[in-house]
Structure 1
Amino acid sequence: MKDNKIDEQEAPTVFWRINDWFPDLSPETKVVLKTYHEELIKFNRTLSLISPKSVFVADALHFADSILASKIIAQANPAIGKIYDFGSGNGFPGLIYAILNPKTQVVLVETDQKKCEFLGHMISTLALKNATVENKSVEAFPEGSIQFGMARGFSNISKILLIARKTMAKGGSFYHLKSEEWGMEVSEIPSQLCSIWSPSLVGEYKLPVGPVKFAVVRTEKIA
């Protein structure tokens, strides 16, 4: 009995603090987010959707992060009718964006078939009518076919701009979810890409816990 009590005391807590952090969200939205969280934790055991260390604080590192970034993107450009989430994998930020913006079509782009199956499962489970999955690479989309894109953890800014240079339409915008070192990534964009893309900071934010700042960086395709 003593050993069991020790095990129970040492078992780490899987936190869920979204309801307290975001009181402005509707009760229905909070239920959908909690369902997503539960399914993510369950499927993570076999698909490695998030790192083991982040499982217990996924509410902060993944959910709160994507909620805050999604709000910045939507506020910066309310006219977005359709947006592509490159390297969607675990659904961040694409699924969160779809949940928060039901009038916007969100396309989750992922090359891993099993992760695509997870994303499809989540769309069905959460009854999201505005989200779809594409099991293909960014380069596989027709030239100039994408007006708005976003990515979180997909790659550094320079590589994304290189990959998406043909797929993105002229005048289109790509939103990058980055750490507080976003300025370094922007400074490392090769000069030949700077003639095609114009970077700017859309907004910065902090998670409800911790001192680290995060940012949403926009790159507009100008040529």
Structure 2
Amino acid sequence: MNASREARFAAYAALLRKWNPSINLVAPNSLAQLEDRHLADSAQLAQLAPDDDEPWLDIGSGGGLPGLVLAIEQPDRPIRLVDSDGRKVAFLRTVIQSLGLSNCTALQARIEELPPASVRHISARALAPLPRLVPYLDRHLAEGGTGWLLKGRNWQAEFEQLGSLDHYRLTVHPSRTDPQAAILQLDRKTIG
């Protein structure tokens, strides 16, 4: 990691710690492991995803995990962060401005009310169970695009509730920060 990235991550972590008591961006009992748990977990996505310049949509961005981490790691990729909570969007915009992340924007909206985005990449972390997330992918992911879902220890139980995923190819990437967690890569099949 270069010095600029290290400085941006340090500044981001400081802002997250400052804002967390008032708007609960991450669970308070996990704040002590911010770098090792939350930031490292999100950074895995930057290593898995292709380093292209295709637009990225991070839904339920909350404290910016994984969207802001990806914006720092891949500064040439346009990234849009979406959250319905205005306080969290204010936090995201503060971080974007403070860190000079010109590749990143934050929007206050409900994901189900946004016009279809038709993007190549969508991410979500700690947003909703898989049965609620997959319809968001269906609505906003372009054919041939990829959904990147960072899931915790219950991901297998959630997966069993899904039923059919005929229009996706699933790849499970074990998490390096929690052996029971996973990053689910859902590649949307091209029709035709």
- TM (normalized to structure 2)? 0.90
Which ranges in structure 2 are unaligned for 5 or more consecutive residues? none
Residue 213 of structure 1 deviates from its aligned partner by 4.3
Stretch moving more, 177-186 or 114-123: 177-186
State the one-letter code of the partner of 1:71.
Q
Q: State the match for 2:175 in structure 1.
A: 205
Residue 144 of structure 1 deviates from its aligned partner by 5.5
What is the number of equivalent residue pairs in this alignment?
A: 190
Q: State the match for 2:25 in structure 1.
A: 49
Supply the RMSD in Å over aligned alpha carbons: 1.8
- Output the CA distance in 1 between the equivalents of 2:108 and 2:117: 19
Say whether the 8 Å CA contact 2:122–2:137 is kept in structure 1.
no
2:127 to 143, 146, 154: 154
Give SS of 1:55's match.
helix
Give SS of 1:150's match.
strand
- Output the CA distance in 1 between the equivalents of 2:9 and 2:80: 18
Q: State the match for 1:214 in structure 2.
A: 181
Residue 180 of structure 1 deviates from its aligned partner by 5.0
1:106 equivalent in alignment to 2:79? yes
1:65-214 aligned within 5 A: 65-73=41-49, 77-143=50-116, 145-191=118-164, 194-201=165-172, 203-207=173-177, 212-214=179-181
Residue-by-residue CA offset, 1:161-190 (whole Å, 9 max, x unaligned): 123322222222111112355333333212
- The structure with the larger Rg is 1
- TM (normalized to structure 1)? 0.78
- Output the CA distance in 2 between the equivalents of 1:166 and 1:94: 19
- Output the CA distance in 2 between the equivalents of 1:130 and 1:39: 19
Identity among equivalent pairs (%):
25
1:63 equivalent in alignment to 2:45? no
State the one-letter code of the partner of 1:102.
P
Residue 195 of structure 1 deviates from its aligned partner by 2.9
Stretch moving more, 136-145 or 122-131: 136-145
Residue 65 of structure 1 deviates from its aligned partner by 1.1
Residue 56 of structure 1 deviates from its aligned partner by 1.3
